[in-house]
């Protein structure tokens, strides 16, 4: 079983709440109440960066397409390669192919 470094009762409550979201509208409503617009945009940008990295797009092209800094792109890449597998698991579930799958 995966042991998160951030696990707490508060974090458990948040994760349980996310699992209760039934559709995209529910997700927008919840995240708009819980997060700032900047936080949502930042998370969305990092997910897009992960999709592009997984597809083999270069850092320079990712920066051009998304506006993400090289530090953000590097951080997402590090998470893809050495993280908790969160990006990989969700990208698999979303049907986003890895570069080698193409």
What residues does each domain of the chain span? 9-101
The Cα-based distances of 63 to 82, 84, 93 in angstroms read: 21, 24, 25
The answer to whether the beta carbons of residues 66 and 49 sit under 8 Å apart is yes
Which CATH architecture fits 9-101?
Answer: Orthogonal Bundle (1.10)
Given this model, what pLDDT does residue 100 score?
62
Given this model, what pLDDT does residue 102 score?
46
Compute, in degrees rounded to 10, the torsion defined by CA atoms 76, 79, 85, 87: -10
Q: CA–CA separation, 66 vs 70, rounded Å?
A: 11
Given this model, what pLDDT does residue 99 score?
83
pTM tops 0.95, yes or no: no
Tokens for 31, please give them.
């995240």
How many other C-beta atoms can be found within 10 angstroms of the C-beta atom of residue 87? Answer: 22
Q: What is the pLDDT along the chain (102 residues), one digit of tens a residue?
A: 889 999 999 999 999 999 999 999 999 999 999 999 999 999 999 999 999 999 999 999 999 999 999 999 999 999 999 999 999 999 999 999 988 654
């Amino acid at each position: 079983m995966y042991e998160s470094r951030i696990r707490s009762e508060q974090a458990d409550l948040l994760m349980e709440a996310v699992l209760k979201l039934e559709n995209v509208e529910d997700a927008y409503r919840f995240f708009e109440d819980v997060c700032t617009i900047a936080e949502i945009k930042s998370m969305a940008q990092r997910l897009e960066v992960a999709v592009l990295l997984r597809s083999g797009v270069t850092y320079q092209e990712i920066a051009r397409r998304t506006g993400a800094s090289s530090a953000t792109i590097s951080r997402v890449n590090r998470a893809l390669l050495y993280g908790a597998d969160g990006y990989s698991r969700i990208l698999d579930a979303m049907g986003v192919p890895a570069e080698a799958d193409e």
